[in-house]
Structure 1
């Protein structure tokens, strides 16, 4: 008789696969209509599947001990950050770091330093009996803005409609670079704790040795070496891929996955030499597309957004399952009535006032509302968890004969509770800010229109309404079929011309941009301006985003999709000309 094999592997694979499939069925509705981030949704799913809830995901059973769970969290976070930062570097246009070094220096220098100091002061003020050096270490963990959560505001329909392209790029560049630059802030505090803490008895050398190690090891070996190594690997990889592609040695699948495999290589090799793999991945990604060749070649491909989505869903589900939720209420370092104000104050004062103060010197921030937007959306996420577990590993090295030093006896628990709580607050607050902001802006007018006696629910001029958006999204195809049956047969090319009003999105959710000579752009211009109009010589970066021509009622275009009759007719016209 067959027996049920309810093993941990079978449970994890079935839960992960089932959740990704279920989320995928409504992903466009949740992300592009309700503006909910996949990070927040996956975190809640991880909580629902965790041991305190459904008990489908049992991390302690898989790892065997809490030390192994901590190691898994650290390595999983490293992997996700490495892949995400290479992809972030690839997204930036040619020589972006060189061209925009002035605004980036402002964001990565004074602004990041102020963020570290203000966060540390808030932690020091609200955590009882906390040493200022310990507060500096905790503040350093949450100083970098997270590139994973930043995707919420630089990708998708909200970003396409509300965030200028240059502003998106500066956010990507900052969130990618400051992740690796969190090391100097963190180890400034950790080295001082090691060599000046506990009266300086445990480790001889004092502050002079601590600063020597900080300049030599942290800046020299960790930061500068990682920049040189990342740039060298990125340039060599670019040249090798050029060489292979020119000789037709590489197939399309290997070409598309090249950036992801490059990130794995850098994470592994930097990990072996002990350098900053996070910063090296971002530098390598930007140098890899220094000539813009790879970025433009993969602009319309959906492999990278797909890998990005799978990693996001997986890691935030894992975070939801392993987060120490019980310690927020029951710990020996900070009560909950202090922890909640700490999270609120960090989100309000860590970044917003300082970005707003210097926004006039950042050309990409043109308006006051953009300054508020960039200042508020500086999320804390995967990078904070990454630095948290680096801190916990460093504190273990301070033990004397297996016994923690007296001055750092509670530092591990304090760092664990505070960093996890701030990260969860950021995921929830930044994940709900856009939908709540939209709802708060449109709800009064929606209610007034809805209460009006002559209000028509199908009127397209009505403001934002969740019910209308759901019904429109679900019933769009049925309404179009019903309307086509009630009206006379359409004239040739009617469906294609009508579909011009719909933008075409990649599977990742972003609008597919127009490039010169593309069939969609040519057909669009041919339809609007006549056959004599041409798009040759136009700049692809300055071309306005106009909808693609594709099958009616479709929002996603696939590479193997057949051409429409408008496209075929336009090609025939060009041949005749």
Structure 2
């Protein structure tokens, strides 16, 4: 007898497929009319992780790695040839003092708003939300709104920054984590001091994770480009494999970097740039829809997963921060995390030509998938590396609880605010113009008075006829062409209305045409150009 199989796999497939199908029916309306991105509890995540919170965090971390890896390769591919080499000055400002200021500003706000939190703990939380998110940035640099309102150079610098700073979040995060491990609580449970923390930060984070990932991305991107050129010239590759090559490259880099333990996010972005350094692949796939389709599927899936795993109840019920402080912290971070530093240095970034563009770039620095990825990395390090007697140390457990509540709440705030900012800005731009246009139309509308005839006035019909004749005569005189001179004669052309009234072109004999050309073939003196 048939029975219901309410398994987790069936529920996930049905929910995900149904939502994507329904969203696809109105996707153009949401993206191009309402300017909404794909960010959106039908899923039971604890069941998929066998009831283990650690397994759930591992699933979330690997899922975010996958989405970010594909997004960053595609971000590198869509940039023009040699973009990083050409625009290195603008990028160095955004990735250097820009990221540092965002990190310090956010850390100070967290330190001020979260009770009983040390500054060392605050810089760990601030590091998680320092990078801007490439997934949410696509909602402002792609589509009809971006084509109309965001200049192309500005779109590209936003894409490049959001792609590069995701991989550069490791140094900010691990500086605080190493200091916490070797300096916090006197370094209990560890053998080392502050010097050990700085040394490990340099050779493990900067050398192994950052520099190695850059070199690995360059090598893989260069080899992939030459191999694809060779296969295309030899006609060894079909069109389907050609189109999916960049996505397969992203999966390869994520997997191999995970095996050797280096920074897969930065490697993906660098490989994407090197892969399309000659602009060949970007131009060949410019009109293709496969990559945007895969991009949409991943975005929908990751944000549905975020909605399922987000600790909604902990925003109100936690021992870290009261809800009113949490809300105020979210507002302050959205306003002060990025906007002041971009306004301060926008004159050194030639892509930002106006103050309004600087305000736009400064406000639109979303926190999303990248922040959740660093959240999971941070909690895994605190649980696995900062131990006393096999258990997480007291300060590490406190930071792990605080980073979960604060980072998740800031991500939700960013998804909501940055997701609806574009349609609200569009409405705020058009509504005043519409009202002003309606008011000016009603003010300037001055119709001709309509005279209602009096039945006792026997001359009303004749009077109206005379008025109409006078009005028509005045109008015809106003539109009559200006006279011009030919030789010694003055020609006064008749208006179209007078010609029609005279019956020209019906039974009357037309006027004899005037010869405007002399015997030598030149125009006679005084002939206007409009008469030829």
Normalised by the shorter chain, which TM-score bucket? 0.7 to 0.9
Compute the displacement of 1:205 (Å). Answer: 1.5
Matches within 5 A, 1:205-220: 205-220=192-207
Aligned residue pair count: 441
Gaps of 5+ in 2: 444-532
**What per-residue deviation string (whole Å, max 9, x for no partner) do you get for residues 341-366 of structure 1?**
11111110010111011111101011
- Say which SS state the counterpart of residue 337 (structure 1) adopts: helix
**What per-residue deviation string (whole Å, max 9, x for no partner) do you get for residues 245-292 of structure 1?**
000000000000000000000000000100000000000000000111
Compute the displacement of 1:440 (Å). Answer: 2.3
Alignment-derived partner of residue 315 in structure 1: 302
Compute the displacement of 1:231 (Å). Answer: 0.5
CA separation in 1, counterparts of 2:147 and 2:113? 40
CA separation in 2, counterparts of 1:170 and 1:448? 35
TM-score scaled by length of structure 2: 0.81
Alignment-derived partner of residue 428 in structure 2: 440
Alignment-derived partner of residue 8 in structure 2: 8
**What per-residue deviation string (whole Å, max 9, x for no partner) do you get for residues 421-465 of structure 1?**
00000000000101112222323444566789979xxxxxxxxxx
- Verify: 1:267 aligned to 2:267, yes or no: no
CA separation in 1, counterparts of 2:440 and 2:12? 51
TM-score scaled by length of structure 1: 0.75
Compute the displacement of 1:338 (Å). Answer: 0.6
Using the TM superposition, name which of 196-205 and 417-426 deviates more. Answer: 196-205
CA separation in 1, counterparts of 2:397 and 2:360? 40
- Verify: 1:26 aligned to 2:39, yes or no: no
Alpha-carbon spacing, 1:452–1:94, altered in 2? closer, same or farther (3 Å): closer
CA separation in 2, counterparts of 1:73 and 1:148? 16
CA separation in 2, counterparts of 1:201 and 1:61? 36
Alignment-derived partner of residue 167 in structure 1: 154
CA RMSD of aligned residues (A): 1.4
Alpha-carbon spacing, 1:169–1:452, altered in 2? closer, same or farther (3 Å): closer
Alpha-carbon spacing, 1:249–1:335, altered in 2? closer, same or farther (3 Å): same
Alignment-derived partner of residue 425 in structure 1: 413
- Verify: 1:416 aligned to 2:401, yes or no: no
Alpha-carbon spacing, 1:2–1:183, altered in 2? closer, same or farther (3 Å): same
Report if the CA contact (8 A) 1:86-1:259 is conserved. Answer: yes
- Verify: 1:60 aligned to 2:46, yes or no: yes
CA separation in 1, counterparts of 2:295 and 2:345? 32
Alignment-derived partner of residue 498 in structure 2: none
Compute the displacement of 1:199 (Å). Answer: 1.4
CA separation in 2, counterparts of 1:340 and 1:445? 34
Report if the CA contact (8 A) 1:388-1:416 is conserved. Answer: yes
Compute the displacement of 1:35 (Å). Answer: 1.1
- Verify: 1:401 aligned to 2:413, yes or no: no
1:91 to 69, 78, 102: 78
**What per-residue deviation string (whole Å, max 9, x for no partner) do you get for residues 213-235 of structure 1?**
01111000000000000000000
CA separation in 1, counterparts of 2:390 and 2:211? 34
CA separation in 2, counterparts of 1:298 and 1:99? 23
Compute the displacement of 1:417 (Å). Answer: 0.3
Alignment-derived partner of residue 103 in structure 1: 90
Report if the CA contact (8 A) 1:134-1:411 is conserved. Answer: yes
Compute the displacement of 1:403 (Å). Answer: 2.5
Alignment-derived partner of residue 563 in structure 1: none
CA separation in 2, counterparts of 1:291 and 1:444? 46
CA separation in 2, counterparts of 1:261 and 1:272? 17
Report if the CA contact (8 A) 1:234-1:284 is conserved. Answer: yes
Report if the CA contact (8 A) 1:196-1:203 is conserved. Answer: no
Alignment-derived partner of residue 351 in structure 2: 364
- Verify: 1:120 aligned to 2:107, yes or no: yes
Look at both structures and tell me which one has the larger radius of gyration over its CA atoms. Answer: 2
- Say which SS state the counterpart of residue 388 (structure 2) adopts: coil
CA separation in 2, counterparts of 1:427 and 1:156? 18
CA separation in 2, counterparts of 1:29 and 1:150? 19
CA separation in 2, counterparts of 1:198 and 1:454? 73
